[in-house]
Amino acid sequence: MLDSILLFLNMGGPEMMVVLFAILLLFGGKKLPELARGLGKGMREFKDASEGVKREINRNINAVNDDLSVDLDSKPSEAQKNETEQSHINS
């Protein structure tokens, strides 16, 4: 995944080193762990939220499918009604 991001940005090793050095100069060595920790927490919260949305969507889809299968099982179709009527008439 990191490779695809780097390819998308068309950045190689030397460019990444310059960016990291500039970040180190801007924020300092003491702030970098705090920034990384905050970024990690934010990414984790985003991932958890997206998983929750996926679970909710799947749960709703399954509920709709269950409702449809119950409705289809409880209501005979017109063809089944006609077959039942024909079998009663023929007997």
Where does the chain have alpha helices with state H?
Answer: 2-9, 13-74, 78-90
Lookup: tokens for 73: 């099982």
Is the pLDDT assigned to residue 81 strictly greater than 90? no
pLDDT, residue 24, reads 87
Report yes or no on whether pTM surpasses 0.75.
Answer: no
Please report the pLDDT score of residue 68 as a whole number.
78
Higher pLDDT, 33 or 5: 33
Q: For residue 66, what pLDDT is reported? A: 82
* Per-domain residue ranges of the chain: 2-90
Q: Give the integer Cα–Cα distance in Å for 50 and 58.
A: 12
pLDDT score of 40 more than 80: yes
Structure token digits, residue 47: 């991932």
